[in-house]
């Protein structure tokens, strides 16, 4: 398997976010877990341009796709405690 063309830090920089390891960790920790019914590009914390970049990067299977997939997986990881209610059921 080939290594991703871009790193997580490069993706965060492309999105206009702080790209140092601590900032990336804090961002993921703050925003996870995303409910399974929420697509990465539809998460409420993205700006419209960030959401478009993520959506287009996956749809076009661009060289950004592997690292966008990795961010998607990281943000959808669940914690040890179940959510009390799911926004998906609303």
Higher pLDDT, 22 or 1: 22
| Residue pLDDT, tens place only, 42-53 | 999 999 999 999
Q: What's the whole-number average pLDDT of the chain?
A: 87
pLDDT at 61: 79
pLDDT at 77: 87
User: pTM (2 decimals)?
Assistant: 0.81
pLDDT at 10: 97
Higher pLDDT, 3 or 14: 14
**Helix locations, the chain, DSSP H:** 8-14, 21-31, 48-59, 65-76
Provide the residue ranges of all domains of the chain, joining segments of one domain with +: 11-77
Distance of CA 32 to the CA centre of its chain: 9
pLDDT at 82: 46
From CA 40, how far away is CA 13, in angstroms rounded?
17
Q: Are 76 and 36 in contact (CB under 8 A)?
A: yes
pLDDT at 84: 42
Structure tokens at 17: 């976010």
Mean pLDDT of 66-78: 93
Which CATH homologous superfamily contains domain 11-77?
Uncharacterised protein PF10982, DUF2789 (1.10.10.1130)
Query: Residue 11: how many CA atoms within 13 Å on its side-chain side?
Result: 24
The single residue listed with the structure tokens 């609303």 is 90
């Amino acid at each position: 398997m080939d290594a991703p063309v871009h790193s997580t830090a490069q993706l965060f920089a492309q999105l206009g976010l702080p790209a140092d390891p601590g900032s990336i960790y804090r961002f993921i920790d703050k925003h996870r877990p995303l409910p399974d019914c929420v697509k990465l590009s539809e998460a409420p914390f993205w700006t419209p341009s960030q959401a478009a970049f993520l959506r287009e990067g996956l749809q076009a299977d661009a060289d950004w796709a592997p690292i966008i997939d990795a961010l998607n997986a990281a943000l959808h990881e669940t914690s040890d405690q179940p959510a009390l209610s799911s926004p998906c059921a609303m």
